Amino acid sequence: RELLARVGCGAGSLRALAQAGLVAITKKPRERIEFHEAPKVITLTAGQQRALEAIVQALTPAPSPIDEPRERGGRQAGVRTFLLHGINNSGKTEVYIRACQHALEHNGQAIVLVPEISLTPQLIARFRNYFGAKIAVYHSGLTDAERARHWQRLKNGEAQIAIGVRAAIFAPCPKLKLIVIDEEHESTYKQDDTVPRYHVRDVALKRAQLTGATVVLGSATPSIESYFHARHGRYRLLELTERVVPTQPPTIKIIDMRDRKNLLSPILRAKIEQRLKNNEQIILFLNRLGYSIAICRRCRQTVKCPHCQIALTVYMHEQELRCRYCGYTLKMPRCRSCGSTELVFEGGGTERLELEVHKTFPHINFRRMDSESVRRGEHAAILEAFRQGQIQLLVGTQMIGLGLDFPNVTLVGIVSADTLLDFPDFRAGERTFQLISQAAGRAGRGERPGEVIIQTRHPDNEIIQLAAAQDYRAFYKHEIALREALGYPPFTTIIFVTVEHRNEAKAHEQANRLKERLEVRKVGEVLGPARALPYRLRGRSRWQLMLKALSESAQKAVWETVTELKLADSVTVNVDPQL
């Protein structure tokens, strides 16, 4: 198309030339990589060098079979696993690159995983500077043909590094020597919604055990389980405690939102205006989709999905309410309970934030970036436009809260730190700490100082305070004591057993029978049955048991019990659920 445009003719002329034998038309695969980054000469810090040397030692083949049983460089029972705990902007990616380089020099292959598709363009650009066409890409933004081509390139050895999201852990690497899981704490590494249900970390450790590969788990805010294993010798802990650029960490301010109705506090609005005047960039982070939820002013009922019984999310642009589980939609504005058109909207998601930003700053160029507003293949183009300064402000969910490096971003606003803190899950505190810390890490990565504004209805909450202080060790100490007292991972394994049936009474009765049988087998503490979240899903009632298992044999015992009771068609078993 570029050639035709330059010479000013159409495709018909080109076909005529080809038929005459004057030109040959060949098809060349198009790479879907649109993010560009200039190569940099990087000198490792002392911490990076120490971490790299430890990983390289594990990657280096043992001199003789006699040395195999010895634990060396993080090796345990044939598995070499490192936890690379580095503060934001400490250069973890450069350690990954150098480790991959060493693996390739020894005729090996590597898999590098990121939790979000938005992170792949920037990471690919970094790796391409070092490895050129030796990389292959895996993520949902590719077509089936592109995915198949990358798969074949890895399998035949043409490509030596697989980069991608969760599914890339299964990339065909016959000479696998290294697996890197960046932002290893992220819940998106767990596949919960479809079979097979697996966690990328578990698959990586198993592949490493089978192949002798080395595993590197990297994060500024490691999962409690991984940090626990590192402190107790199952993994080897490597720490990066200094920034690669000797700049001050961003200043962090907590704003009390208990008496505020707007999503943007006056302080945050003023900070945004100041940064815009200075030609600096801003990221506003809110980990909730949609506009808000709808409540009827007359009967005070939350408008819920009739099939799933969860609050419908308001989408103001489409003038509809939508169920995030089954897709049920309801045109506004009418209450399903009493028929009233007097609906009020409470809470707020990224769509509402987008509208508020547009109303407050009508003349700026900004973009919303979340799973519902970004079409397939758009991630790289949006991030490139932001990097070049064409976009002044970015609004989004965790898609923009992780790993991205934009030196001109000097202000990050965490619009509501409560979206995860209020969630009914034992990991709520951990997720809140991680998301605040990671989002805050996007500010002040260049020469200009950064600032972070945390808006919350719980300003005195200990988790919020620890996240603002960026004190991971104090947070871990607080959280691990709580987990041990309550019998949560890493001291047990959580297994959710969900029974569903179209008949509500039948589902409850089956869940009780299952609980009685599991208690007889003494597989661990069995809690419930309680209503699952969501309780109604696609017209079926759901009851859930939570098992705190003390041994790895518990999962097998659960399935044996389900089979004995002939409940396999109505039961879902989820080990280590990530809500």
Q: Give domain status of residue 321, yes or no.
A: no
- Rounded to whole angstroms, what are the CA distances from 376 to 199, 370, 372, 373, 391? 25, 11, 10, 10, 19
Q: Give domain status of residue 7, yes or no.
A: yes
Maximum pairwise Cα distance, the chain: 82
CB contact at 8 A, 320 and 355: no
DSSP string across 51-84: HHHHHHHHHSPPSSGGGTTS--TTEETTEEEEEE
Half-sphere exposure of 323 (CA within 13 A, CB side): 19
* Cα dihedral sign, 44-45-48-52: positive
Report the number of distinct structural domains present in the chain. 4
Q: How is residue 296 written in tokens?
A: 């009827």
The residue type found at 242 is: E
Which residues on neighbouring strands pair with residue 575, listed in sequence order?
A: 495
Q: Give domain status of residue 314, yes or no.
A: no
Query: Length of the chain, please?
Result: 579
The reported pLDDT for the residue numbered 268 is 97
Cα distance between residue 175 and residue 191, in whole Å: 26
Last residue of a domain, one of 484, 509, 529: 484
Last residue of a domain, one of 205, 240, 275: 240
The reported pLDDT for the residue numbered 316 is 59
What pTM value is reported for the model?
A: 0.82
Residue 376, domain CATH: 3.40.50.300
- 497 with 479, same domain: the answer is no
Cα distance between residue 52 and residue 180, in whole Å: 13
Q: Give domain status of residue 305, yes or no.
A: no
| SS3 state of residue 564 | helix
Q: Give domain status of residue 557, yes or no.
A: yes
- 130 with 102, same domain: the answer is yes
Q: Give domain status of residue 275, yes or no.
A: yes
Using CA atoms of 202, 371, 227, 456 in order, give the dihedral in degrees to the nearest 10: -150
- 147 with 55, same domain: the answer is yes
Cα distance between residue 579 and residue 575, in whole Å: 12
Through-space distance between the first and last CA atoms of the chain, rounded to whole angstroms: 47
Q: Give domain status of residue 394, yes or no.
A: yes
CB atoms within 10 A of CB 297: 11
DSSP string across 173-196: -TTEEEEEEETTT-GGGEE-SSSS
Query: Which uninterrupted H or E stretch holds 464?
Result: helix 462-469
Cα distance between residue 390 and residue 65, in whole Å: 57
CB contact at 8 A, 217 and 95: no
The reported pLDDT for the residue numbered 168 is 94
The reported pLDDT for the residue numbered 155 is 94
- Nearest alpha carbon to residue 438 among 162, 218, 237, 190: 218
Cα distance between residue 183 and residue 189, in whole Å: 9
Pairing state between β 79-86 and 236-240: parallel
- 417 with 279, same domain: the answer is yes
- 527 with 469, same domain: the answer is no
Last residue of a domain, one of 484, 514, 547: 484
- Nearest alpha carbon to residue 380 among 122, 567, 150, 553: 122
- 77 with 165, same domain: the answer is yes
Q: Give domain status of residue 311, yes or no.
A: no
Cα distance between residue 211 and residue 169, in whole Å: 14
Cα distance between residue 467 and residue 241, in whole Å: 17
- Nearest alpha carbon to residue 95 among 152, 51, 31: 51
CB contact at 8 A, 90 and 47: yes
- Nearest alpha carbon to residue 93 among 357, 403, 456: 403
CB contact at 8 A, 315 and 355: no
Query: Which uninterrupted H or E stretch holds 440?
Result: helix 428-440
- 129 with 149, same domain: the answer is yes
Cα distance between residue 137 and residue 98, in whole Å: 19
The reported pLDDT for the residue numbered 37 is 52
pLDDT digits (tens), the chain, 579 positions: 556 555 556 677 777 777 777 777 766 544 444 444 555 678 899 999 999 999 999 998 765 444 443 333 344 444 489 999 999 889 999 999 999 999 999 999 999 999 887 667 778 888 988 999 899 988 777 788 888 999 999 999 999 999 999 999 999 999 999 999 999 999 999 998 888 899 999 999 999 999 999 999 999 999 999 999 999 999 999 999 998 877 788 899 999 988 888 889 999 999 999 999 999 999 999 886 544 455 555 665 667 777 655 667 766 566 777 775 566 787 765 665 666 565 655 556 788 888 899 999 999 999 988 776 777 667 778 888 888 999 999 998 877 766 677 889 999 999 988 877 767 688 989 999 998 888 888 887 777 889 999 999 889 999 999 999 999 999 999 999 999 999 999 999 999 999 999 999 999 999 999 999 999 998 899 998 988 877 888 889 999 999 999 888 898 999 999 999 998 888 999 999 987
Any idea what DSSP says for residue 38? -
pLDDT tens, 512-536?
999 999 999 988 999 989 888 778 8
- 232 with 274, same domain: the answer is no
Q: What range defines the domain where residue 14 resides?
A: 1-30
- 137 with 158, same domain: the answer is yes
- 225 with 266, same domain: the answer is no
Which residues on neighbouring strands pair with residue 218, listed in sequence order?
A: 84, 182
- 461 with 504, same domain: the answer is no
CB contact at 8 A, 90 and 243: yes
The reported pLDDT for the residue numbered 420 is 77
The reported pLDDT for the residue numbered 339 is 61
- 81 with 222, same domain: the answer is yes
Cα distance between residue 65 and residue 63, in whole Å: 7
- Rounded to whole angstroms, what are the CA distances from 177 to 109, 166, 340, 393? 6, 18, 63, 41
CB contact at 8 A, 210 and 454: no
- Backbone φ and ψ of 185, nearest 5°: -75, -10
